Chains A and B, each alone.
Chain A
Amino acid sequence: MKSAEFDAIVVGSGMTGGWAAKELTELGLRTLVLEAGRPTLPEQDYVEHTPPWKMPFRGLGDRRAVAARQSIQSRSVSFDELSHVFWTDDVENPYSTPADQPFLWFRARQVGGKSIIWSRQVYRWSDLDFEANQRDGIAVDWPIRYADLAPWYDRVERFIGVSGQAEGLAHLPDGPFLPPMALNCVEQHVQQRMATKFGRQRILTIGRAANLTVQHNGRAPCHYCGPCQRGCITRSYFSSVNATLPAAQATGRLTLRPFSIVHGLITTGNRVTGVRVIDAKTRTERQYTGRVIFLCASALESARILLNSGLANSSDQVGRNIMDHIKWAGASGEFDGWTDRRVIGERPNGIYVPRFRNVTSRFPDFIRGYGFQGEAGRDGWRGALRAPGIGQALKARVTDLGPWSMSFWGFGEMLPRQENRATIHPTLVDAWGIPSLHIDCRWSENELAIHRDMNVTAAELLESAGARSIEPSRSGPSIPGGTNHEMGTARMGRDPKTSVLNKWNQAWDQPNLFVTDGAAMTSSACQNPSLTYMALTARACHYAVEQLKRREL
């Protein structure tokens, strides 16, 4: 057999692809990273300091262009007039859903992927999460436990830099945190009142964010400008562009190829020998060969590649068990007082209330749980945009800071269910002729019960803190996919008959194929998942390299 051009091929350059690139190159592998989208040039593409008056629509976005080309992507919370370039074109990248059940598939195609536009919240999982499926008799058991991943969480957190407060909670383990960001006055008040009312049962802590509060690994601390989703010229938040890809580049063993859309994988026997790539610009096909392949293309893209290749699917689990986090429940309330205080600067982080349902006691309405994110602040001019009055009275209202208010919004765990499934569409293809997905994903009663409870307990928290005008969310459940935490489409497990990957993220059917993005997840927990994807990726890379050295791959 002709020797491979590369030791490793990584598909995707985002959150997990960047980690695979860093770990594999640092361990000595000549690594090719394939990115479907364009290069990212921070000096040119990061525009976080552009003031509103320099934007054609002052931040309201190019409504017509968005309606024509990005009607789905624009529903992401971090999509805006400038950050829209970091999402895909919906016309070029179609997918279908059942008529009665939409699914929001937010996608990013550029070097850095969604790590440029993520919300940067990072929380460890614990054995409350890793043991959950086994405990509840749901789906399949995770093949790993917290102890397997803990050192890799350490490794990832030390590199990316996570600001946060250690709380000593067994179900939300602490890490080697950088100094926490500050709570504002009302958040401190709510924290104290919650402690009085709920003790350690329900605590409020500052969000754990991949935003630096001190100089770290050559990257500058956050300067609180606000719109992280437009990039960060000081590299103060973690993205693959800001941290892992430069580390990989520094080894001299990285080849990064943008505009490379992976159509499928090439096999010989039960080995994947390479990838088939369509050049996004010339539409010509190329093939690359490698000894080990890492799929880091995002949960649904990686499943699409596997399904289009007909690989790793003897269990018939590829594309199944789609999970997201259910959101759009919570509550807001106003606070009297602190009228002589205001917030200065834009903190790219909020508060976090770790899960409290089904932790130490059983809650009857549902299994699993949810956490709250949120923040307090003064509405200012945005609260006055529809205020009554004209003239000086309106001017006074617009320039007034308004009362303090605080909101909690929940993120609830979703159970893995086989019928929540992506399949290859029989006729629909993308702009490059690659078959697209049909995605059928629905909430079950357990998620809807969580959604209802989030409204109730958020209001309880505000009430305990003495808020007035408490308003639970009137929004219904989010559309599946809308939290952009899609995962589970090539799950890890203990049995090749019921799972796609083993405990090392290695495909049971093709031992030199690894899938380390969200596809690998066996359950969804309720914490933001990117940290766990990164830890799984680093762990799988070290395993793969050991196996290569032993000539067992």
Chain B
Amino acid sequence: MERRDLLRWLARVAGIYAVRGFAPADLLVFGNAVHRGAGSVTTEPGHVERTVLIAAERILPGATEANVGGFIDKMLADWHTPEERGRLLAGLSDLDARCRASAGRDFVDCTEPDQVAVLTSLDNEVTALRAGPGSERANQHWFAMLKFLTVYGWCTSETGMRALGLHPAPWRYDGCAPV
């Protein structure tokens, strides 16, 4: 997605999904990371980006080290539909609303136990949906999207694949190897 299109789209989404509490500048930073030359620009991450990075680390410890944020950024910019992106961003806004209601501050400013608590309750909502009829609905939940991107992003990163014992390739087959 071109930067120009991204700006236009974010402006629209901010209206449609009422992404409360995020200044336009915050919204712009996330989604742009992929367009920055690596290391060429040093900008403080915006609110949405920080929210995603911390949430990803809480979902799967090690996500930050594996640059899962960069993967999520790329997927939101160039893979997901505008509707899906909007749903995820609206969900992040809802995350802050929940945190403000329960702890009086945004997600990024919460204590780690508070962050874990709110993410756990979201995960439980998804699990409940999954137990009901139509698990596709569960996968469409914004938290299920974020969690999938986090887990998939980690497992397909170099760090993750090394940790999983999948990289480097063994160049042989053993169908009954000791664990």
A residues lining the B interface (CB < 8 Å): 49, 51-53, 56-60, 62-64, 181-185, 187-188, 223-226, 338-347, 380-382, 384-386, 388-392, 394-395, 398-399, 401
Q: Is the CB of B169 within 8 A of A225?
A: yes
* Alpha-carbon distance A345/B166, docked complex (angstroms): 8
* Alpha-carbon distance A344/B179, docked complex (angstroms): 9
Q: Is the CB of A342 within 8 A of B59?
A: no
Q: Is the CB of A390 within 8 A of B161?
A: no
CB A376 to nearest CB in B, in angstroms, measures 9
| Contacting residues, chain B, for A64 (C-beta < 8 A) | 78-79
Residue among B71, B144, B177 making CB contact with A58, cutoff 8 Å: B71
CB A471 to nearest CB in B, in angstroms, measures 14
* Alpha-carbon distance A344/B120, docked complex (angstroms): 34
Main secondary structure of the interface of A (DSSP, over half): loop
| Contacting residues, chain A, for B62 (C-beta < 8 A) | 395
* Alpha-carbon distance A340/B59, docked complex (angstroms): 28
Q: Is the CB of A339 within 8 A of B174?
A: no
The A-contacting residues of B in range 78-126, CB under 8 angstroms, are 78-79, 116, 119-120, 123, 126
Q: Which 3 A-B pairs have the closest CB atoms?
A: A184-B175, A345-B173, A52-B156
Closest to B147 in A: A390
CB A325 to nearest CB in B, in angstroms, measures 27
Pairs across A and B, CB under 8 Å, 23 listed:
A53-B157, A57-B74, A58-B156, A59-B156, A60-B75, A62-B78, A185-B176, A223-B169, A224-B170, A224-B171, A342-B177, A343-B173, A344-B172, A344-B173, A345-B174, A346-B169, A386-B139, A386-B144, A388-B127, A389-B123, A391-B61, A395-B62, A401-B179
| Contacting residues, chain A, for B119 (C-beta < 8 A) | 390
Q: Is the CB of A223 within 8 A of B179?
A: no
Q: Is the CB of A53 within 8 A of B158?
A: yes
How many chain B residues touch A (CB < 8 A): the figure is 46
Q: Given A57-B74, A386-B139, A395-B60, check contact A181 B173 (CB 8 Å).
A: yes
Q: Is the CB of B78 within 8 A of A56?
A: yes
| Contacting residues, chain B, for A49 (C-beta < 8 A) | 169
* Alpha-carbon distance A60/B149, docked complex (angstroms): 11
Q: Is the CB of B177 within 8 A of A344?
A: yes
Q: Is the CB of A225 within 8 A of B171?
A: yes
Q: Is the CB of A395 within 8 A of B61?
A: yes
Closest to A225 in B: B169
| Contacting residues, chain B, for A340 (C-beta < 8 A) | 178-179
| Contacting residues, chain A, for B176 (C-beta < 8 A) | 184-185, 188, 338, 341, 343
| Contacting residues, chain A, for B71 (C-beta < 8 A) | 58
Of the listed residues A185, A382, A395, the one surrounded by the most CB atoms of chain B closer than 10 A to its CB is A395
| Contacting residues, chain B, for A57 (C-beta < 8 A) | 74-75, 78-79
For the complex, is B163 an interface residue (Cβ under 8 Å from A)? yes
* Alpha-carbon distance A224/B168, docked complex (angstroms): 12
* Alpha-carbon distance A451/B134, docked complex (angstroms): 25
* Alpha-carbon distance A531/B126, docked complex (angstroms): 48
* Alpha-carbon distance A188/B160, docked complex (angstroms): 31
